Amino acid sequence: MDPLFYIKTFGCQMNVHDSDTISQILINKGYKKTDSINDAHIILINTCAVRQKAEQKALTLIGRLASLKSKKPDIISGIIGCVAQEQGTSLLKRFPFIDLVLGPRNIYHIDDLLDQIKEGRGKASSLDLTCEPPTLPTCNGYVKGRVATFLKIMEGCDNFCTYCIVPFVRGRETSLPAEDIINKSKYLISQGIKEITLIGQNVNSYNTKNNALPTFPGLLKELDSIAGLKRLRFITSHPKDLSDELIGSFGELKSLCSHIHLPVQSGSDNILKLMNRKYTRDKYISLIERIKKTRPDITITSDLIVGFPGETEKDFEDSLQLIDKIEFDNLFSFKYSERPKTSALELPGKLDEKEKQRRLSILQEKQKKITLSKNKLMEGTIQEILVEGPGKKGDSQLTGRTSGNKVVNFFANKNLKGQLVRVKIIKGFQNSLLGELVDKYNQKVYEVM
């Protein structure tokens, strides 16, 4: 029987992509993936360190592996990802039943390290922050059944926002070669993928550090010209590096979707400075105005932190006012969480948990109303939807997303998965839209032939 591996992923799209990469490497080596932790011969936990809560969740699951390992001592268990990098081999002492510790930049070594463990050569770790990311693996049939996927174009980060652990756990910014990204995109399309989301900590600065070509807008242009790619997206952009050329891409490229995720982090200039974000509130507002001018229908989403050290009531009010002014379609908001190695640890004016929670609740309440009213504004509009498959409710309901990345459920009597269809929005909810299929004359389609 082929050895079975189980992988649990915490954290962001980067980690989802890393888990996918690991899975493809292991499948190519003859392992099989299982969704059941109890059946697995190899258990891997891909961890996130961005906030203390995320880290704690992963550590709790790791703690639970002790009893599994005592029943089945032959299991190989590994901690991967950002917590593995941050805590290093100390994890092997803290959790003696763990065999492997692997940093996010070192995932490509997984098969050699598993061989080493299986051959009885003890525990293994790989935590080198300077490795260059190798060519992304291909694995025939791996994306079968998927319409959309992530594709990593850069690793690491050089920005050192004072709250952020990423530069310490993913190392310095490195761009993957454009040729590899283009080849991988063509391969994914040949495997049935219709939508690619390019991912990186700061995609806007793709190739700028090494003065190579293409830069990010050029890369988008090359990908846009690949036959069969219906939709192209990217995350995450840093406002300080959002060039006019990139904004212009939203008006020019046919596959580039009508959505930008542009983390603002705070609406107060004082706090932005303490965060080392290198832009002001006004600069951010003017960027949004320029993007909207180029693509008036664009969906704008953002990230925001409340309770950063030194955040006064006035600074918090500035954040509230900013979200009133911009009216983000969606906002991911977080309480500031102290992270090891980050320079914000040294800042005075720490807020207590209760105050951070109070601010977060006020902000989230406000944003909830804005999101709902934006979704309601879409009622009556016709949207192009890329169908991803059956909806959660079954009963011939299909689900997909608008170009602006909003989830739409609608009824159709045929499987339209992977197709772009026209849908009239009939109801806007908090987290999704309900629609009905229409033809090119905007008439409701009752039956799809």
SS3 of 159-222? CCCCCCCHHHHHCCCEECCHHHHHHHHHHHHHCCCCEEEEECCCHHHCCCCCCCCCCHHHHHHH
435 and 410 Cβ atoms separated by less than 8 Å: yes
Residue 223's nearest CA partner among 260, 258, 183 is: 183
Tokens, residue 381: 């509009």
49 binds, among ligand SF4, ligand 5AD, none (CB under 5 to 8 A by kind): ligand SF4
Q: Residue count of the chain, please give it.
A: 449
**Least distance CB 171 / ligand SF4 (angstroms):** 11
Q: Note the residues at the interface with ligand SF4 (CB under 6 A).
A: 11-12, 14-15, 48-50, 81-82, 165-166, 169-170
Minimum Å gap between C-beta 173 and ligand 5AD is: 16
Size of the site for ligand 5AD (CB under 6 A): 12
Which of 17, 69, 184, 339 binds ligand 5AD (CB under 6 A)? It is 339
Question: Least distance in Å: CB of 12 to ligand SF4?
Answer: 3
Residue with smaller CB distance to ligand 5AD, 109 or 277: 277
Half-sphere exposure (Cβ direction) of 136: Cα atoms closer than 13 Å: 25
Q: For residue 102, what is the enclosing H or E element?
A: strand 100-102
User: Which x/- pattern, by CB under 6 A, does the window 33-72 give for ligand 5AD?
Assistant: -----------------xx---------------------
Q: If contact means CB under 5 to 8 A according to the sort of partner, which of ligand SF4, ligand 5AD, none does residue 15 touch?
A: ligand SF4
CA 333 – CA 302 distance, rounded (Å): 8
- The 262-291 site mask, x for binding ligand 5AD (CB under 6 A), equals -x-x--------------------------
Q: Taking CB under 6 A as the criterion, which residues in 157-186 touch ligand 5AD?
A: 163-164
Token pair, residue 117, equals 């463990």
In the list ligand 5AD, ligand SF4, none, the entry touching 11 (Cβ below 5 to 8 angstroms by class) is ligand SF4
Sign of CA pseudo-dihedral 28, 34, 35, 36: negative
Q: How many CA atoms does the CB half-sphere of 346 hold within 13 Å?
A: 5
Q: Strands (DSSP E) along 248-372, which ranges?
A: 259-261, 299-306, 330-335
Please identify, among the stretches 22-30, 335-343, 379-387, 440-448, the one whose residues bind ligand 5AD according to the rule CB under 6 A. 335-343
Nearest residue by C-beta to ligand 5AD? Answer: 303
Residues that bind ligand 5AD (CB under 6 A): 50-51, 163-164, 263, 265, 303, 305, 334, 336-337, 339
